[in-house]
Structure 1
Amino acid sequence: MSEQTKTRRRGKELEAAILDAAWDQLVADGYDRFTIDAVAERAQTSKPVLYRRWSTRQDLLRAVIRRRGTVNAAPIPDEGSLREDLLALLRFSNSSNGSMAALMTTLVSSHFGDIGMTPVELRAEMFTERSSSLEPVLTRAVRRGEIDAAKLTPRIADLPYALLRHEYLMTFACVPDETLLEIVDDIFLPLVRPN
């Protein structure tokens, strides 16, 4: 068996390697240079291998975003209080593991219209796993009596992340921890606490 045969990537391993290389290409060089050629070269594979999976670079981009949202899904924290759990989730999303700042910077600077995706679609693609991390945290807080369930509308539940997204869009940088504390302590918790 040759050395090349032993190291040949196939199936899910190959797809993961391509999507990781595509993410690196996107963040390093922006959407303008996010091409099938560039991704194939970075992934050390051929263009036909990519075209068998994704017919356009927009399809490839969506797959990259979905993978980032899945690979970087926040672990479900259990720090003993709603405040600490929310801070853990926001800090994770704000970290390099969360990748939101890098992605927003790259895509906004490339114009959403050019990539065939609106910010709402980006959010849906990137954060399919986020609701599964936030929901148990909020459910636990209701059981502990930290939240009035009647006050927890879908929009209020999304508020900490909506404010985090706003900060990203205004600065294209990770959000300072004091801002995360303000989002949780001064804005979110007063809205949901029992009277």
Structure 2
Amino acid sequence: MDEQKNMRRRGDELLESLFDATIKLMNEVRHTNLTFQQIADAANTSRTVLYRRWPTMLDLLQDIYAHKAKKLFEGDFFDKLEDTGSLRGDFIQLLTVYQRMYLEIGAEILNNYYYLRMQDKENTKEPTIHTHAVDRHIKAMKDLLKQAQSRGEKVREVSIITLMLPFDLIRMENLIRMGNIDQSRIQIMVDDVLLPVFKDDNYHL
């Protein structure tokens, strides 16, 4: 009977139902206690279907993350960022977009995913899509800083690691202050953290 159900729900439909069932269960059960059997029952499928595609829970959550974070990974939103007229305004716009993406994906999903990623000590399961996402972010940051320089703003020379600061900051804030990041908080992060790091004169336009 299960096999017949799965035959009727192949491809994207089955995948979406499995992802949705997992996300729902993660809001009810600690991810460390979550089992493939629970997910299979919730998605009205068989446990074999899950094991056939995902050897471990990390593999499953990694696919959910990549699926839900497609917009973030692809980075198309970078092309839609406007020149606000100041580095401060550009950073506020960037963090606002990041936070909207974070909420759209689901902070609980992302935080659980990052926790499980920490268990991969050898970093053997990092998806290729991560590398592409980092490259897109770094390029966008370089363009943003170059834009500020063209306006006459003094910008520091920084490392590649530092260019990841805006995104890393949003991730950390959501990890420790989930649900409490509003526009006021974003402005504080920009004024007190990002501008002193990236601006040479620390002058907030």
* TM-score, length basis structure 1: 0.70
Amino acid at match of 1:20: D
Counterpart of 1:181 (choices 161, 182, 187) is: 187
Q: CA deviation at 1:107?
A: 6.3
Q: Which amino acid aligns with 1:135?
A: K
Structure 1, residues 169-191: CA drift from partner, whole Å, max 9, x if none?
33343423222112223321243
Which consecutive segments of 4 or more residues in structure 1 shift more than 4 A?
71-74, 146-150
Shift of 1:36: 0.8
Alignment correspondent of 2:160: 154
In structure 2, the CA distance between the partners of 1:11 and 1:134, relative to structure 1 (3 Å rule), is: same
Structure 1 counterpart of 2:41, which letter? Answer: E
Deviation at 1:54, TM superposition (A): 0.9
Code of the residue aligned with 2:195 in structure 1: it is L
Partner residue, 1:171: 177
1:22 aligned partner, one-letter code: T
Question: Residues 117, 148 of structure 1: CA spacing in aligned structure 2 closer, same or farther, 3 A cutoff?
Answer: farther
Give CA deviations for 1:13-43 in whole Å, capped at 9, x if unaligned.
4223322332232233220442111211222
Provide structure 2 residue ranges, at least 5 long, that are not aligned to the other structure: none
**Alignment partner of 1:142 out of 141, 146, 151:** 146
RMSD (Å), alpha carbons? 3.7
TM-score (ref. length: structure 2): 0.67
- Give 1:88's match in structure 2, choosing from 84, 93, 97: 93
The answer to whether the 8 A contact 1:85-1:137 is kept is no
Aligned letter for 1:24? K
Distance 1:178 1:136, change over 3 A: same
State the distance in 1 between where 2:48 and 2:34 align: 16
**Counterpart-to-counterpart distance in 2, 1:107 and 1:136:** 25
Deviations 1:44-70 (A, max 9, x none): 222111111012223222222332332
Deviation at 1:168, TM superposition (A): 2.8
Please say if 1:49 is aligned against 2:49.
yes
The number of equivalent residue pairs is: 184
Q: How many angstroms apart in 2 are the aligned matches of 1:178 and 1:130? A: 27
